[in-house]
Amino acid sequence: MTAKELREKFIQFFQEKGHAVIKSASLIPENDPTVLFTTAGMHPLVPYLMGEKHPMGTRLTDAQKCLRTGDIDEVGDDAHLTFFEMLGNWSLGDYFKKEAIANSYEFLTSPKWLGLDPDRLAFSVFAGDEHAPRDMESYELWRSMGVPEEKIFFLPRENNWWGPAGITGPCGPDTEMFIDTGKEKCCPECSPACDCGKYLEIWNDVFMEYNKTAEGDYEPLEQKNVDTGMGLERTICILQGKSSVYDTDLFLPLLEKIEALSGKRYGETEEITRAMRIVADHIRSAVFLLGDDRAVTPSNVDQGYVLRRLIRRAIRFGMQLGMAEGFTPEVAEVVVSQYQDAYDELTRHRDFIMDELKKEEGRFQRTLRQGLREFEKVVGRLKDGKEIDGISAFHLYDTFGFPIEMTVELAKEKGLTVDVEGFEEAFKEHQKKSQAGAEQRFKGGLADQTEETARLHTATHLLHAALRHYLGDEVAQKGSNITAERLRFDFSFGRKVTKEELGQVEAWVNEAIAADVPVTMEEMDLEAAKASGAIGLFESKYGEKVKVYTIGGYSKEICGGPHAAHTGELKHFKIKKEESSSAGVRRIKAVLNDG
């Protein structure tokens, strides 16, 4: 079975069970400041799981585009990916455990569908705890399917419970389905909770039957939901009998193209294999981000920062493989060709995808040349000994994209060595600091802290204040994106802003700039910040202590920075464009110049 056939069979099966097929949502969550990307099939459906009525009814199914970058440094092993597809189906207050489990068993074992040998399957259910009872209903339902009791495992909350997404809300037990690989048990207690490789998860049915209250109680939900998720890549890997997702038909065309462009063979060495997998995964992810209907472009903030990191990481490993400059669009063409039937947006945005990849590859080549000059400076600063210290090596990696292997190679040519252990320590420290930022927003909404972005970020505060001054308090920030060249500011407002109003806003900001007032920062408790009149944006991401930035008498906001020291540093503010971003949300693009 091919990956395409698996995707189509899953959708067809649930269509025949009365489910409406919904289109994959965007990879960019709409009006959700808490996450950068859609990370699971249920993510776009949260309002409907909470009780809103879905226009397509109470039974839904889809293949959802997802992106997770928390384990980006693990990509290249047998299992880790950034982009993946989640096959899902939902019952929104319709059927519950009986039908869900029957559907799952039929799809897995029926010759018409996946046709898996029942003897190769194992299952887990919730063992129960002080908050909710043991899920005997799911256990008995699996038994009614003919599953022997030794193939059903009762596991604790950490294994078989979902949610709530926040502190309160819908949650409940789940039941998971596994392939038994036939390996010997690692110990007498061996179960799907082990990491020994005997059991591989293939599907998960979540039963949202409780609501967790603020007091920590678990109350029965009025609307009980079913939310299931089957990872396409993992499942096709199992069905095709492969030990790695990269050895399935999803990646073979990509790897063949990379082989042709590099002149090297996949599997030749561990280093070559890993590099080819990284190039394939990262360019696949970049194509889907650039081809999304709510596409982002490479930048130094938020989703654009992650996209830039993926593209540049692919380029770095491509260079290690000996691939010539300009290879990214050639690999991207394979991705578009593979997925255009399932995701027609890739065809519609094909030219944009290729153009952005070409431009980013050119930018990165310039950065690498700057890095070579920095490398020469590092060498020139060496006084005693012949070793480049770990901090300098990490600076070359973090700022200029130099992999440690490249620094070691360049050093060797000059008869020098590199403190690789020191580099790894610096790298681990960097990982600790940025761990929470991979799937969550960067603390201040900015990934870099250059003078240009600091000035533009300060300008967004003044712009926000000016919009509220002329348009009213209904204006609230909905998002922002800042590069070194311009700012983009999204705000709630129900109509197009007139030219006269834009002129007033622009003049007000420039008046604040001309006043050259200081930008001051004070740390205080969140409640004290609110009491002081500070505007709080995306408050859910702030801790107990917050930074309040005051710009003279013009603006007062809770923010993570960075900012200019005085408004005079901004010189002159110019609005370039005002447009609709989404329903009820307007977008302004503006620049700072010499006036």
Binding-site residue set for Zn(2+): 457, 461, 559, 563
**Token pair of 542 as six digits:** 């702030």
Q: Could you give the strand order of the β-sheet that contains 535-536, starting from the edge strand earlier in sequence?
A: 519-525, 545-551, 555-558, 535-536
Report how far residue 362's alpha carbon sits from residue 377's, in angstroms, rounded to the nearest whole number.
23
Residues ≥6 apart with Cβ < 8 Å to 324? 261
Q: What is the residue-wise DSSP string for 403-448?
A: -HHHHHHHHHHTT-EE-HHHHHHHHHHHHHHHGGGTTB--TTS-S-
Is 571:595 a contact under the CB 8 Å cutoff?
yes
Long-range CB pairs of 25-32 (<8 Å, 24+ gap) are 25/64, 25/65, 26/65, 26/292, 26/293, 26/294, 27/65, 27/66, 27/67, 27/288, 27/289, 27/292, 27/294, 28/292, 28/294, 28/295, 28/296, 28/303, 30/294, 30/582, 31/478, 31/582, 31/585
Residues of each annotated binding site:
457, 461, 559, 563
Q: What is the residue-wise DSSP string for 75-122?
A: TTSSS--SEEEEEEEEEESS--HHHHHHHHHHHHH-TTTT---GGGEE
555-558 and 535-536 as β-strands: parallel, antiparallel, unpaired? Answer: parallel
Residue 352: in which H helix or E strand, if any?
helix 350-381
Q: What is the residue-wise DSSP string for 518-549?
A: BEEEEEEEHHHHHHTT-EESSGGG--SEEEEE
End-to-end CA distance of the chain: 63
Report how far residue 54's alpha carbon sits from residue 301's, in angstroms, rounded to the nearest whole number.
33
CA distances from 40 to 87, 439, 504, 565 (A): 10, 12, 43, 41
Burial class (CB in 10 A: 0-12, 13-18, 19+), 584: middle
Is 550:519 a contact under the CB 8 Å cutoff?
yes
Q: How many CB atoms lie within 10 A of CB 481?
A: 23
Is 37:24 a contact under the CB 8 Å cutoff?
no
**Token pair of 464 as six digits:** 């926000």
